[in-house]
Chains A and B, each alone.
Chain A
Amino acid sequence: MAERHRYPKGPTTYVLRALVVAYLALLVAWPVALVVTNTFEHGDEALRTILEDPDMQAALRLTAVAAVVATAINTVFGVSVSLLLVRNQFPGKRALSALLDLPLSVSPIVVGLALVLVYGGRNGWFGPSLEESGFQVIFSTPGIIMATAFVSLPLVIREVVPVLQELGTEQEQAAQSLGASGWQTFWRITLPSIKWAVIYGVVLTLARSLGEFGAVKVVSGNILGETRTATLAVEEKYLNFDQEGAYAIAFLLASVSVLAILVVFVLRSREARR
């Protein structure tokens, strides 16, 4: 991109640049770097202790399972809803597209409360009858998955909808006029064209899901070895003065989220160059 600068680079440019760099360093870069130095203060001992602790293994496994299942649900849901919103007309469409953003501005604690009020085993709306049929939601894995799916619900949709709108329907119509079925059109034409948007959405959803804390805290009951997730373990270790352990788990979680951003960043700049 060739840029013409009408104004010469004056002192303002450098002042603003310095301001931005300093602000981001103090607010984000430096604090995040400290998690690395604090974790490896005594070599990799802290990290090894965490990885060998069976309770922590269970916590990490639970976090991974909840995040993967929630991401899978949100991906299928997100792609379907995006297609419906962009390609179809139906009553209530505007309201729906506004409501889909709701999970991003609801407090995680309210998310937890909402799920407990409906699925709580003792006096929730559906909870008691679900438990009678042997399906426990709250204080159990399904509740953790629902809380996780709730908070990361719109992320795939936000990535896919703009791409679908740009795409138009010409290719799909061409495929259909050549006799392709709805499924064939979707798999062969639509999905390949929205592939990257779906991948960004999935990566962001996964990162957000791995890190959910407040909503999971309310619905999980935080039972050691059973419903304690990795983020809950960070809190518990820190409050019990096991700072090294807290930093080690935090380091694992932070690495995954930074990696996720890095993946999206690299893919995006590659696409922009094309």
Chain B
Amino acid sequence: MSVQIEEVRPAPTRRTPTHDLTRTSGIGLGVTMTWFSLLVLIPLAAVVTTAAAGGWGGFWRAVSNDQTAAAIRLTVTAAFGVTAVNVVIGTVIAWVLVRDRFPGKGMLELVIDIPFALPTIVAGLVLASLYGNDSPLGLNLVNSGWSVYLAFLFVTLPFVVRTVQPVLEELDQEIEEAAASLGASRFTTFRRIILPALTPAIAAGAALSFARAMGEYGSLVLLSGNLPFTSEVTSVRILSAIENDNRATAAAIATLLLLISLLVIVVLDVIQRRVASRG
């Protein structure tokens, strides 16, 4: 799903070694980069700088505070758990969407995109109405640690499905037929032929879903109750530090989150590059 830039072979004429910008595109690059810096890069740099100003000791004190450490533990565990679920169910959903045919399949396509476009606060509200106090199902997850898992599952639903689906559509079914005609069972064909081809896409989707879960906030507000040591996630800790005007602490926890996001993006980039070079 990441923006991937194919290397366009440059025309041999009119080209300096480092760039081929005309005056208009040069100005365009300048303007867009200024805006990008003002909006994204400088503010994110400010977070890291503010965190670094407290030194290693300050950083460590901020993230090892009992309540914060518990929040980080819960967020990381839930993000990993939900990503593992998504790897399985996301691949199954993509499989059903591509290979199965039945009336109403188009509706499923729509339903999968809803978590992406639905405001997160509304996501929390709707989940609370099915899994809350007067749940028609008789389940009450509100204010428990499980509500965090539920909210994460909702907001990360589209990622694995939408990265795996296009790869599965492109997959050559003749190879599967060949495997079958050579006597491979359905399961063997899946494990030996299909799964290896899907692995990079699954990994990319998993990385996106993990990063999304790590930073989730909006869907938890009305759902988890933000109880310390039970259902409080990292984003909530950052917000309370901001509200107490404790910027150094907020920046330290935020930097930890940013580092994790960055790590995930690098992994994603490496995986996609490997796929591109193989294909």
A interface vs B, CB < 8 Å?
Answer: 3-4, 6-7, 10, 12-13, 16-17, 19-21, 23-24, 26-32, 34-35, 38, 73, 77, 80-81, 83-91, 93-94, 96-119, 124-125, 146, 149-150, 153-154, 157-158, 161, 165, 182, 204, 207-208, 210-214, 217-218, 231, 234-235, 238-239, 246-247, 250, 253-254, 257-258, 260-262, 264-265, 269
Contacts and interface: CB of A to CB of B under 8 A. Distances in A.
A89 B122 contact: no
Contacts of B211: 104-105
Contact of A84 (B6, B28, B212): B28
Contact of A108 (B19, B118, B215, B242): B215
B222 interface: yes
Contacts of A238: 125, 222
Interface string B233-252: 01110110010000100110
Interface in B118-160: 118-122, 125-127, 129-131, 153-154, 157
Closest 3 CB pairs of A and B: A107-B215, A211-B119, A114-B43
Given A101-B265, A213-B120, 12 more contacts: A20-B89, A23-B93, A27-B154, A32-B126, A77-B36, A102-B40, A182-B24, A231-B120, A238-B222, A253-B118, A257-B114, A257-B119
A212 B135 CA distance: 27
Contacts of A85: 3, 5
21 contacts: A16-B96, A19-B89, A20-B89, A20-B93, A21-B108, A100-B3, A101-B3, A109-B238, A110-B235, A114-B44, A116-B242, A150-B39, A154-B3, A158-B3, A161-B3, A208-B116, A214-B217, A234-B119, A238-B222, A257-B119, A262-B110
A234 B6 contact: no
Contacts of B5: 85-86, 93-94, 97, 161, 165
Nearest to B169: A1
Contacts of A218: 239, 242
Identify the interface centre among A34, A117, A161: most chain B CB within 10 Å of its CB: A117
Contacts of A12: 186
Contact of B25 (A28, A84, A214, A260): A84
B61 to A, nearest CB: 18
A231 B119 contact: yes
B58 interface: no
Contacts of A247: 125
A24 B117 contact: no
A265 B110 contact: yes
A117 B3 contact: no
A113 B47 contact: yes
Interface in B22-69: 22, 24-25, 28-29, 31-33, 35-36, 39-44, 46-47, 50
A117 to B, nearest CB: 4
A156 B40 CA distance: 16
A260 B119 CA distance: 12
B239 A118 contact: no
B122 A97 contact: no
B43 A118 contact: yes
B92 interface: yes
Interface string B171-200: 001001100110000100000000000000
A165 B5 CA distance: 8
B258 interface: yes
Contact of B4 (A97, A108, A125): A97
Interface centre among B4, B95, B181 (most CB of A within 10 A): B4
B221 A80 contact: no
Contact of B96 (A20, A32, A81): A20
B153 A27 contact: yes
B254 A20 contact: no
Contacts of A125: 42, 46
Nearest to A159: B3
B119 A253 contact: yes
* Most A CB within 10 A of own CB, among B28, B47, B214: B47
Contacts of A113: 47, 238, 242, 247, 250-251, 254
Contact of A107 (B10, B15, B214): B214
A138 to B, nearest CB: 11
Contacts of B19: 88-91
B137 to A, nearest CB: 8
